[in-house]
């Protein structure tokens, strides 16, 4: 496994693979790797001849300086895991290698066709601009055959699919296939997240109520006369009733348009909850 820190070396290695006709699987991450990431990486390694993983805590997608500063960074441990998974190339650049001073200063602008106006996009202004900025740059450098994204970040996945399939960048990325991967959870049901590392044992036990409530809501949705609005409110009230948890939003939306829906068909519920100072996200499908 080779660890690459410069864009020039990354393009040199990926171009060499493509010249040899090899398929490239790519998994972009922000590091502090866990079994959720590993599930994407195992798949990328098994479905492609070469596997690239990036580890980059992208400053342009953080709209909270403290969140950026406290984001866990565990490169040495991550590298050991990636080696054991059979990854060929790890790209771990510095922010200066990725962006010019102008790019760091001026926000990147992308037309999301409304996909960014709800949920995470509404709560974290500029977040998805930063995500598209970094992912489009990484795609240009790696030129993957397949790129793997987790359904845990459901809105992010929808936006990347829009970028590759329907946006002004679609032609540029027409050779890249986006592969969605299911959420990996702890046995307790808690969705794995790098941010879980910031939770105490007590907070982790408390946070289990998030997924438990989402699972329970599948049953509530089947109750006679249940409406989307009722189920949505019941989820919010149930989680807020737990000491130490505070819902930022819970929205049941159409999984394609991400717009609020009144029917459970094709619906997905996306939640963001503060557990102490740590912001956790999760989602559940109703169809
Ligand atoms: P991150 O490092 O948080 O930016 O995540 C990198 C990729 O791993 C994204 O595509 C995430 O959606 C995915 N991912 C993170 N946590 C999980 C999880 N628990 N299950 C499945 N995929 C995940």
Strand order in the sheet with 267-275: 245-254, 267-275, 278-285
* SS3 state at 260: strand
User: For each of the chain's 287 residues, which pLDDT tens digit applies?
Assistant: 999 999 999 999 999 999 999 999 999 999 999 999 999 999 999 999 999 999 999 999 998 899 999 999 999 999 999 999 999 999 999 999 999 999 998 889 899 999 999 999 999 999 999 999 999 999 999 999 999 999 999 999 999 999 999 999 999 999 999 999 999 999 999 999 999 999 999 999 999 999 999 999 999 999 999 999 999 999 999 999 999 999 999 999 999 999 999 999 999 999 999 999 999 999 999 98
Say whether 133 sits in a helix, a strand or coil. helix
Which tokens sit at 276? 């102490």
Answering whether pTM is above 0.95, one says yes
Residue from 37, 88, 127, 162 carrying the catalytic annotation? 37
CA angle 47, 49, 55 (to 5 degrees): 85
Please, are residues 220 and 231 in contact by the beta-carbon 8 Å criterion? yes
| Cα–ligand 1 centroid distance for 181 (angstroms) | 9
Q: Among residues 216, 157, 210, which one has the least CA distance to residue 186?
A: 210
Provide the 3-class DSSP secondary structure of residue 125.
Answer: coil
DSSP string covering 41-107, please?
A: HHHHHHHSSEEEEEE---GGG-S-HHHHHHS---HHHHHHHHHHHT--EEE---HHHH--HHHHHSP
Residue 190: the pLDDT is 98
In the structure encoding, which two tokens stand for residue 257, read together? 């348009």
Instruction: Locate the ligand 1 atom nearest the alpha carbon of residue 28 and give its number.
Output: 6
Three-state DSSP state, 241: coil
Q: What tokens were used for 99? A: 């962006």
Active-site annotation holds for 127: no
Beta strands in the chain (DSSP E): 2-4, 24-29, 50-55, 89-91, 146-150, 177-181, 245-254, 267-275, 278-285
Ligand 1 site, CB within 6 A: 29-30, 36-37, 39-40, 149-150, 152-153, 181, 183-184, 191-194
């Amino acid at each position: 496994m080779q660890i690459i820190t410069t864009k020039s070396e990354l393009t040199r290695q990926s171009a060499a693979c493509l010249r040899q006709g090899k398929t490239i699987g790519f998994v972009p991450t922000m590091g502090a790797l866990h079994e959720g990431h590993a599930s994407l990486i195992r798949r990328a390694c098994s479905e492609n001849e070469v596997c690239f993983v990036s580890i980059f805590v992208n400053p342009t997608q953080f709209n909270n300086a403290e969140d950026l500063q406290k984001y866990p960074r565990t490169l040495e441990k991550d590298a050991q895991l990636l080696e054991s998974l059979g990854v060929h190339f790890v790209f771990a650049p510095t922010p200066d290698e990725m962006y010019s001073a102008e790019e760091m200063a001026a926000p990147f602008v992308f037309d999301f066709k409304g996909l960014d106006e709800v949920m995470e996009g509404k709560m974290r202004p500029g977040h998805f601009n930063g995500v598209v900025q970094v992912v489009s740059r990484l795609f240009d450098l790696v030129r993957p055959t397949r790129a793997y994204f987790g359904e845990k970040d459901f809105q992010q996945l929808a936006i990347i699919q829009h970028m590759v399939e329907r946006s002004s960048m679609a032609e540029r990325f027409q050779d890249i296939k986006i592969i969605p991967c299911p959420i990996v959870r702890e046995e307790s049901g808690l969705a794995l997240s790098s941010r879980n590392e910031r939770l105490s044992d007590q907070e982790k036990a408390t946070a289990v109520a998030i997924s438990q409530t989402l699972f329970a809501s599948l049953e509530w949705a089947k109750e006679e006369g249940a409406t989307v609005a009722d189920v949505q409110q019941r989820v919010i009230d149930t989680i807020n009733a737990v000491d130490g948890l505070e819902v930022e939003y819970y929205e049941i939306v159409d999984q394609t348009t991400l717009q609020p829906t009144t029917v459970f068909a094709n619906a997905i519920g996306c939640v963001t909850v503060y557990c102490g100072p740590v912001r956790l996200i999760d989602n559940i499908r109703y169809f």
